[in-house]
Structure 1
Amino acid sequence: MTTLTQAPETPAARETPARRRRRVDRLPYLLLLPCLAIIGVLLLWPLGQVVAMSFFRLDNVRQLRGDRDWPWVGLGNYAEILGDPFFRTVLRNTVLFAAANVVLTMILGTLVGLLLNRLGRRMATFVASCVMLAWATPALTGTIVWKWLFDDTSGLVTWLFNALPDGLSNALFGRADWTGYGWFNSPLMFFSILTLVVVWHSFPFIAVSVLAGLKSVPSELHEAARVDGAGPWKVFWKITFPLLRPVFGILVVLSTIWDFKVFTQQFVLAGGTQDRPTFMLSIYSYAEAFSPPPKYGLGAAIAVILTLILLVVTGLYVRMVLKQEEDA
C-alpha cells in the first residue's frame, strides 16, 4: 500500500486573493518610482530652491555659491513686488499678450488643422511637413531670423515698404522712406512683432493636434450634417467642436502656459533687458535677478508669482473638466 504525500504549500499558494490584488495595485506605483525620482531631482528640487530664495535678501553671488548666511525677509520680497506700480504694468502686459496670442494661435492652428483634414493624403503630408518646420525651428534661431526681417536698414520688411509707391506709402502710413525706421521702438509695434513670432512658432502644434482629433471624429456625422443642409460653419460648431472640446481645452491651457512664459523671443527682439515698458513676467524676473545690482530674492519672488498664476489657470481647467464629467 502506497502513501500519498502532500506537496509542501508554497508562499504563492498561501497568498489570499485580497493580498494578491493589493500587490498588483501597488505595481504601477512601483514602476513609476524611477520617473518620479527623476522629476523630483530635475524639477521639484530647483523649484523648492527658488521658493526658498524668495524669502531671503540675496544681492551677492557669493551667497549663492555656498554662503548660507542669507538675511531672512519673509514676505518682504513679495510685498515689495506687489506694491510696485511697475509690477501691475508688467502683469497687464503679460495677461494681454498671453490672451491675444492664445486666441490667435488657436484660431490659426484650428483653421490649418481643418485644411489639412480636407486635403488629400499626399498634399496633407507635404503641407504638414512644411508647417512643422516652424515648430521644429529653435526659438532662438527663428527669432533671430525674424529680427533680421525687421532690420531697419537691410531687412526684408523695410525693403518691401520702401518698394511701395511714395504716394501710397504717404497716404497709408505718413512716410515714404522706411530706412532707419525703428520697428521695435514703440511698445505697440514691438508687441505686434513679438506676437507674430510667437504665433508663427506655436500654431503648428495646434494644427497637428486638431488634425489628430479630427481623425477620431466619425465621418458619418459630418456627412449626415451636410445631407441635412448644414454649412461648414454649422458643422464645426454643432459637431466638431463639441466632440473635440477636451482637445481644445488642453491646447488652450498649454498655449496659456507657453505664452505666459515667453522669454527667448522677447529677449532677442528687445536686445536684452533695457526696454522696460515691454517687460513681461518672465523677463522681469530675469532682469531683477541678474541686472546689476542683482536681486536674486526679488527675481525668485516674481518667478514664484508667475508659477502660482499658471497653477491657478491649470487648476481652473482641471476643475472645469471634472465638472463636465460629472454633468455627463
Structure 2
Amino acid sequence: MANTSTLARGGGNPPASGRPPTRSRRRAKASGMPEWVIPYVLLIPGLLVIAGLLLYPTIQMVIMSFQKVGLRQIRGVPAESVGTENYTQIFESEIFWSSLRNTVTFAVVTVALTLILGTAVGTLLNRLSKKMSTFVVVGIMAAWAVPPVAQGVIWRWLFDADAGIINWVLNLLPDWFSELLFGRSDWTGEPWLNDAFTIYLVLIVCVVWASFPFIAVSVLAGLKGIPAELYEAARVDGSGAWRTFRKITLPLLRPVFAVLTILSIIWNFKVFSQLYVLMGGPNNREAFNLSMFSFAEAFRSPPKMGSGAAIAVVLTLLLLVVTAFYVRQIVKTEEM
C-alpha cells in the first residue's frame, strides 16, 4: 500500500537501482549527448588552442626544413623545395656537432646540479618552522621569477671584465690562497665571456641559480605529503640521515623527481636567451648550442631559414627521444 501511494505521488516508476539519477547523468540527458562523449567535447577548446599555438607552427617548421627560404622568399617569392639538402648540410657542418656536444654536456651538468641543489634546499626548508620556511621560499622564488633575459644581464654584469664584481672579489683573496686554488693572484680584466669554456661556466651558474628554487619548492611540497610516522620509526630503528633519505624519502618522491628531471632536461636543452645575452649575440661559434646555431643560421646575414628550421627539427626530435626514453623507464619502474 505504501509502495502504491509512493508511486502515485512520484508520478512515475523509481530508478531500477533505487537511487536518484546522478548530476552527471542529468547533465548528459539535458545535453542530449552520451555520457562518454562529454569529456572529449570539453577538451576541444584546449586542443584547438594547442593546435593553433604549437601544432601549426611545428608543421610549418618541418615543411620549411625541406625548403630553401631566404631574403627572396621573405619578399614573396615562392619557396623552393630542396629535399633533404638542409639536413645534409647541417650534418656535414663541424659547428653542428660542436653545438650538439655543448648542448648535451651543458644539459647533463646543469640538470644534475639543479636537482642536487634543489633537493638539498627543499630538505632543509622542510626542517624550518612554517614562518621561516615561507620567508625563505619567497626569497628564493624571486630568482626563479626573473625573466631569462634579465638573468643573462645580471650575470653578464657580475662577470664583466672591467666592472664585474666577481673579479673584484677574487682580487680581495690573499695572494697565497688565490695561487693555491686557481694558480694566479691577479684577476684584473679577466675576460670571462670571451672563451667558450668560461662562457658555459657562467651559463651553468646562471641557469642553476634561476632553476633550483622551483626544484626546491616542488621537493618541499612532496616532503609535506610523507607521513611523519615513517621518519619517527626510522629514528627509533637507529637509521641515519642518509639511510633515511635513501630508503624513505627517495622512493616516495620518485614520481616528483621523475617529472622534475624531464622538465629540467627540456628547459636546459632549449636554453637560448641567457646564452645570447652572455655572448652578446651569435658571435663565438665555439660557444654555440643547438638553439643558438639555429638562430644564427636562420637570421644572420645571409638568412638561411630552411637550415635553421632543420636544426630546430633535430633539436625537437632529440628532446622527444630523450623524454620518451625517460618516461618509458619511469613506467617500467612503476610497474615493477
TM-score (norm 2): 0.88
Confirm or deny: 8 A CA contact 2:110 2:207 kept in the other structure: yes
Aligned to 2:289: 280
Residues 232 and 170 of structure 1: CA distance in aligned 2, closer, same or farther (over 3 Å): closer
1:64 aligns with 2:64: no
What CA distance in whole angstroms lies between the structure 2 residues aligned with 1:168 and 1:243?
44
Residue from 25, 34, 53 that aligns with 2:64: 53
Percent identity, please.
54
Aligned to 2:249: 240
1:156 aligns with 2:165: yes
1:316 aligns with 2:325: yes
Confirm or deny: 8 A CA contact 2:95 2:285 kept in the other structure: no
Aligned to 2:259: 250
1:187 aligns with 2:193: no
Residue from 136, 142, 149 that aligns with 2:151: 142
Aligned to 1:262: 271
Residue from 40, 45, 54 that aligns with 1:43: 54
Q: Deviations over 1:190-218 (max 9, x none)?
A: 11111000000100110011111111111
What CA distance in whole angstroms lies between the structure 2 residues aligned with 1:121 and 1:166?
44
Q: Deviations over 1:236-267 (max 9, x none)?
A: 11011111111101100100000000001100
Aligned to 1:226: 235
CA-atom RMSD in angstroms: 2.3
Q: Deviations over 1:158-195 (max 9, x none)?
A: 11122223444345434443222101122221111110
What CA distance in whole angstroms lies between the structure 2 residues aligned with 1:200 and 1:321?
27
Aligned pair count reads 313
Confirm or deny: 8 A CA contact 2:161 2:192 kept in the other structure: yes
Aligned to 2:122: 113
Aligned to 1:10: none
**Structure 1 unpaired stretches of 5+:** 1-6, 8-12
Structure 1 residue ranges (4+ consecutive) displaced by more than 3 angstroms after TM superposition: 19-22, 64-67, 165-177
Aligned to 1:84: 93
Amino acid at match of 1:32: L
Confirm or deny: 8 A CA contact 2:69 2:79 kept in the other structure: yes
Amino acid at match of 2:69: L
Amino acid at match of 2:178: S
Larger deviation, residues 276-285 vs 21-30: 21-30
Larger deviation, residues 153-162 vs 110-119: 153-162
**Structure 2 unpaired stretches of 5+:** 1-10, 12-20
Amino acid at match of 1:308: L
Aligned to 2:34: 23
What CA distance in whole angstroms lies between the structure 1 residues aligned with 2:142 and 2:321?
32
What CA distance in whole angstroms lies between the structure 2 residues aligned with 1:66 and 1:56?
14
Q: Deviations over 1:44-75 (max 9, x none)?
A: 11111111100001121x413543x2111111
Confirm or deny: 8 A CA contact 2:297 2:307 kept in the other structure: yes
What CA distance in whole angstroms lies between the structure 1 residues aligned with 2:123 and 2:259?
18
Amino acid at match of 1:64: I
Aligned to 2:212: 203
Q: Deviations over 1:260-307 (max 9, x none)?
A: 000011000011001111110111100111111111000000000000
1:215 aligns with 2:224: yes
Amino acid at match of 2:111: V
What CA distance in whole angstroms lies between the structure 2 residues aligned with 1:51 and 1:163?
53
Residues 66 and 218 of structure 1: CA distance in aligned 2, closer, same or farther (over 3 Å): farther
Confirm or deny: 8 A CA contact 2:271 2:291 kept in the other structure: yes
Residues 303 and 126 of structure 1: CA distance in aligned 2, closer, same or farther (over 3 Å): same
TM-score (norm 1): 0.90
What CA distance in whole angstroms lies between the structure 2 residues aligned with 1:31 and 1:290?
40
What CA distance in whole angstroms lies between the structure 1 residues aligned with 2:254 and 2:334?
12
Amino acid at match of 1:324: T
Aligned to 1:303: 312
Residue from 68, 71, 95 that aligns with 2:104: 95
What CA distance in whole angstroms lies between the structure 1 residues aligned with 2:334 and 2:212?
28
What CA distance in whole angstroms lies between the structure 1 residues aligned with 2:181 and 2:242?
34
